[in-house]
Amino acid sequence: MKKFVFSLLSILLMFSTILPFAFAAEADAPAAAVKSVDDFKDLKNLPKADKDKFDSLIQDGVFNGLTEDTFGLDARMNRAQFAKVAAIIFDLEVDNTLTVSSFSDVSADDPANSYALPYIEALKKAGLTNGYDEEGKTYKPAGEVSRQELAAFLIRGLGLDADASSAEPVDDSTVDDWAKGYVSLALEKNLLTNQSAGKFSGKTSATRKMLALASFAAKQILTGGAPEETAEPEVQPQPGDEPAAPAEEISAQGKKMLFITRQSSQMTQLKENPDDEKLITRMKDLGFRVTWVNCDKFTAEKAEGYDLIIVSNTLNSKYLRSGIMKDVAIPTVYLKNHGMYYLGLSSQEENTNEYNIKSTTIAEPKDKAAAGLSGDVELLLTTDPKTAIAYGLPGKEATVVATVPGKPKEATIFYYNKGTHSDSGYEVQARLSFFSFAGNYDNATDSNWKLLDALVLWTLQNG
């Protein structure tokens, strides 16, 4: 049987309140006004029984939303986030000065999960985890929790490991052999239910909704009650939920993204400017499976097998000057104009910033990358002489979605479709897009994020 030594959820379920499965919960975040289920647009249409559960959890401060008005039912959580939540719940001693982990795959240089290093170490010190692999050398911080893993965690947390071993295994090809007893007992106890076509979909990633309802049911068992039999159909996006690809187009769910970030020697700057980490988290919320690489370590060969590339504005542009991306036939979003310039897709390299402005003008409101917006749209909450909105000067075959207000040649959002050409004749190998990095993401408006989401998903379509 495959060994799953990560027993965090099991322990959480044995103590006090229901596990607050909130993304990147903050121990020192300022107190916010108490919300209810009606404050989240993706919870309003849930069955009443589920709404009552979520309303109780939200008002008790157990759950937070991903945004002010979106709970994120379909969002997935990784093991790094588990660690932080657990450390906060149990008030573990966390040494925030730690920069080296006892696990080989946990690093202070990881833009996405470096924040969790001291929390992961706190869990190990408290005896709550031994890691992920048999030898306890790795933790797998970015790893997701599958439905069959969730079933095992819940059953172990309830002290029913022996019962699972003797249970009649499920006859389900979607469940690995090691998990069939756990899944059988989880179904019997109404902790989880089958999804479409009577299958459990064991290898499918568990969502926040699944985690919340299943842990709620486990809590009922722990307190001596019987969990309600709750229908758990296969998750379907609700109108207004987290960003998703348009109907009948490629979804970001499960797609592999390569994120090219700053050079290795500058990784310590993440503490002062964590925009890469925030952007990677945003992409994961869209459904991407994100891998990052330092720009000085990137080669064209490392891009093979990915569905989308994002080139961060934090990278050192000198690593693009050789035309390293010229033959990479993978849809790419550049957050730095230099990337388009070195391919001949923008005619100006330097001095492509406008200061003391907050807005962009939507040039093509009907374009899918315009996210349904029109007119002048604010990208920044505040601006000053040091805060810039970047632009490029694209060629005649580009599609310009937005520009600097009053300057239609300065494009803040534009793209080239596969098969189009630069003015110098270079043929575009896959859809290539540019998005203006607007100051920093703490200063970005909701419209800024909406436009970025739309462009990323449109680029993924690779038309």
Q: SS3 helix, strand, coil % of the chain, rounded to 5?
A: 30, 15, 55
Backbone angles phi, psi at 34, to 5 degrees: -70, 130
Model pLDDT, residue 237: 38
Lowest mean pLDDT among 94-108, 130-144, 208-222: 208-222
Q: Residue 296 burial (CB < 10 Å; 0-12/13-18/19+)?
A: middle
Of 193, 224, 79, which is closest to residue 141 (Cα–Cα)? 79
H/E element holding 410?
strand 407-416
Mean pLDDT of the residues in the chain: 80
pLDDT digits (tens, 9 = 90+) for 242-292: 333 333 457 788 889 999 988 887 766 555 556 788 888 888 888 899 898
Mean pLDDT of 76-98: 72
In the numeric block, the tokens 């709404």 are attached to 51
Choose between 33 and 175: higher pLDDT: 175
pLDDT digits (tens, 9 = 90+) for 207-255: 878 877 877 777 677 666 555 555 444 444 333 333 333 334 577 888 8
C-alpha–C-alpha distance, residues 126 and 92, integer Å: 8
pLDDT digits (tens, 9 = 90+) for 171-181: 998 899 999 99
Choose between 208 and 70: higher pLDDT: 70
Decide if 391 contacts 403 (C-beta within 8 A): yes
C-alpha–C-alpha distance, residues 178 and 162, integer Å: 13
* Best mean pLDDT range from 49-63, 107-121, 325-339, 430-444: 325-339
Of 445, 419, 448, which is closest to residue 432 (Cα–Cα)? 419
Structure tokens at 59: 């008002």
Lowest mean pLDDT among 192-196, 320-324, 352-356: 192-196
pLDDT digits (tens, 9 = 90+) for 358-397: 999 999 999 989 998 999 999 998 888 888 899 999 999 9
Mean pLDDT of 345-355: 92
Pairing of strands 359-362, 308-311: unpaired
Model pLDDT, residue 136: 87
Q: Judge whether residue 461 has pLDDT over 80.
A: yes
Q: Judge whether residue 429 has pLDDT over 80.
A: yes
pTM higher than 0.85, yes or no? no
- Note the CATH number of domain 256-461: 3.40.50.880
Q: Judge whether residue 43 has pLDDT over 80.
A: yes
C-alpha–C-alpha distance, residues 455 and 463, integer Å: 13
Q: Judge whether residue 128 has pLDDT over 70.
A: no
Structure tokens at 313: 């504005």
Choose between 169 and 22: higher pLDDT: 169
Helices and strands per DSSP (H, E), number in the chain: 11, 11
Around Cβ 53, how many Cβ atoms within 10 Å? 20
Model pLDDT, residue 140: 87
Pairing of strands 399-404, 388-390: unpaired
The angle at the Cα of 95, spanning 89 to 97, to the nearest 5 degrees, equals 140
Choose between 371 and 150: higher pLDDT: 371
Helices 208-222 and 147-157, axial angle in degrees (round to 10): 20
Domain residue ranges in the chain: 8-77+144-222, 256-461
Around Cβ 228, how many Cβ atoms within 10 Å? 13
Provide the 8-state DSSP code for 124: H
Choose between 217 and 428: higher pLDDT: 428
Q: Is the dihedral of CA 437, 267, 345, 258 positive or negative?
A: negative
C-alpha–C-alpha distance, residues 398 and 396, integer Å: 6
DSSP 8-30: HHHHHHTSSSPP---TT--TTPP
